[in-house]
Amino acid sequence: MTAPESVLPRGAVRGRLRGELLLGLAVFGLYSLVVMLPEEARARAAREHGRLVYDLERVLGIDVERTLNGWLAGQPVWRVLANYEYAITYLAAALGLLAWLYLRHPERYRTARNAFVLLNLGGIACFALFPVMPPRFMADLGFVDTVRLGRTWGSWGSPMVEHADRYAAVPSLHMAWTLWVGVELARVSARRWVQGLNAAHVVVTGYVIMATANHYLLDAVAAVPLVAAAVFVAERTTPPAGAVRVRAPDAFFLAVETADAPQHAGGVIMLDTSRDAVERADLVRVVGERLDRLPRFRQRLSAPDRRRPVWRDHPEIDWSWHVVERDVDGMGGLRDLIAGIQSAPLPRDRPLWRMFLVRGAAPGRTTVVFLMHHVVADGVGVVAQAVALMEPRPADEDGGPARPRLGRLREAAATVAGRTRTSRVPRTSGAFASSTTSGSSSPPILPTSSFSIAVRFAGVGSSQRRNTRSRRR
């Protein structure tokens, strides 16, 4: 994680429209490939499978399709309306919902789109592996092809769309699309009348697909688990809108981290508090006021899966854990404290940072020790986080000249307390950011306001890598 990425949040994205259209064309291309499979073999298998489905319904006593189809075939007006309903409404509802989510609910769009793509891919796989002939093509069973009978222009199954897959009965994508629309409307808490209208559409679609002899009842039933599985997978694999997936170089530190080799960086800031004391509440207030500028300070990693985790907003900051007070006995006690906190990995069920307000390292001095996981910030990123956290707010944010936010920290000075190498810290492997001042045995105290710091940080890990390269030469 570099300095800009560690401080500046990224905006939510919903995907470019061109990319969304290309994805839709790719799915339709797969569907077209299934249609191009050898016709004769598919027709023979589809007829056998169609009889199998119908015989199963008769055994279960749910073969209602022929009754519904026989009534509709004798009603010219209703027959034409049903044919057009079958051809148009499911398509208009699904595409309309996608457009609405894209424009009005971008935070939900990607998950909904992924579920829609998955259910279509599942349907296409079924069409290829288990083709089923619709009842309207099986006149020997007593079904009437209402599309041919009514000569409905442009309807599904009419000469205008002869390229459509004739053997795509199981599962019913018409029913799957309308059910998916209902799920997504519920997810975004759409108005009740809208959800009620869609519920009526689901019922009408269920009736129409059977009355027009395009599907069996079991085709509609098969759509339910298809939609459920697609939504389930999409919910668990689609990062939330605006979420940032951990970059591969940063994920490396997560992969190699163990209990004996924690992977975090950190630093030490020494404050001149000889005149005004610094309390833990002051530090909590400063950090709290800057959280809007530090997204990783209010985010945690998602549960690991097969892919790299993503950053998710943490519901509530546990200040009692993230900002802690400690008392030590001199610089030796400070070193022992740093050794202890550096040797323990940061838990991943919360934001990956921690601060310690330490007293007793030196007279008139209060020390701030901070830790950040390498996935939050590298050596340079630690500097960016610290500067964003400690520097005074610009004048235009307060409506006046820049001034300290903490009255008791006037003229407090901060500097990094020497270079801390991991060789001095038992069982530590993280790079602890630090600073040195040329020609000085102890760090100088620079007059500053608030927590403003003027220091030079250097990651221990980078110096170790340089030493390693030198030894190799």
Domain count, the chain: 2
Using the 3D structure, point to which of 185, 206, 237 is the last residue of a domain: 237
Q: Please tell me whether residues 214 and 262 are part of one structural domain.
A: no
Asked if residue 247 is part of any domain, the answer here is: no
Which pLDDT score is estimated for 410? 35
CATH code, domain with 167? 1.20.144
Are 228 and 269 contained in the same domain? no
Do 9 and 58 lie in a common domain? yes
Same domain for 93 and 39, yes or no, is: yes
Q: Are residues 230 and 259 in the same domain?
A: no
CB burial of residue 378 (10 Å; 0-12, 13-18, 19+):
buried
Domain span at residue 200 reads: 3-237
Strands 311-313 and 323-327: unpaired
Largest CA distance in the chain: 102
Same domain flag for 402 and 430: yes
Specify the DSSP class assigned to residue 238: S
Q: Is residue 242 part of a domain?
A: no
User: pLDDT digits over 205-223, tens only?
Assistant: 999 999 999 999 999 999 9
Instruction: Give the C-alpha separation, 15 to 269, whole Å.
Output: 42
Q: What's the pLDDT score for residue 443? A: 39
Note whether residue 244 is domain-resident: no
Last residue of a domain, one of 205, 237, 269: 237
411 and 371 share a domain?
A: yes
Same domain for 10 and 153, yes or no, is yes
Three-class DSSP category at 93: helix
Domain closes at, from 183, 208, 237: 237
The dihedral built from the CA positions of residue 335, 339, 345 and 347, taken in this order, carries a sign that is negative
166 touches 134 (CB < 8 A)? yes
Give domain status of residue 318, yes or no.
Answer: yes
Q: How far apart are CA 51 and CA 133, in angstroms?
A: 8
Give the pLDDT confidence score for residue 342 in this predicted structure. Answer: 85
Residues 259 and 213 placed together within one structural domain of the fold? no
How confident is the prediction along the chain (473 residues), in pLDDT tens digits per residue? 444 444 444 444 455 888 899 999 999 999 989 888 888 889 999 999 999 999 999 999 999 999 999 999 889 889 889 988 988 899 999 999 999 999 988 888 999 999 999 999 999 999 999 999 999 888 888 899 887 776 666 555 555 556 677 888 999 999 999 999 999 999 988 999 999 999 999 999 999 999 999 999 999 999 999 999 999 999 888 876 666 778 888 888 888 988 889 888 888 888 888 888 889 998 898 888 888 778 888 888 886 555 678 888 887 889 999 999 999 999 999 999 988 988 889 998 899 999 999 999 999 899 988 888 888 877 676 767 776 666 665 544 444 444 344 343 333 333 333 333 333 333 333 344 443 333 333 433 333 333 333 333 233 333 333 343 333 34
pLDDT at 412: 38
Residue 243 is assigned to a structural domain of this protein: no
- Specify whether 153 is located in the same domain as 288: no
Cis previous bond, 76, omega within 30: no
Residues 281 and 366 in one domain: yes
Residue 245, in any domain of the structure: no
Residue 106 in any domain: the answer is: yes
Instruction: Tell me, yes or no, whether 326 and 436 share the same domain.
Output: yes
Q: What is the CATH number of the domain that holds 257?
A: 3.30.559.10
Residue 246 lies in a domain: no
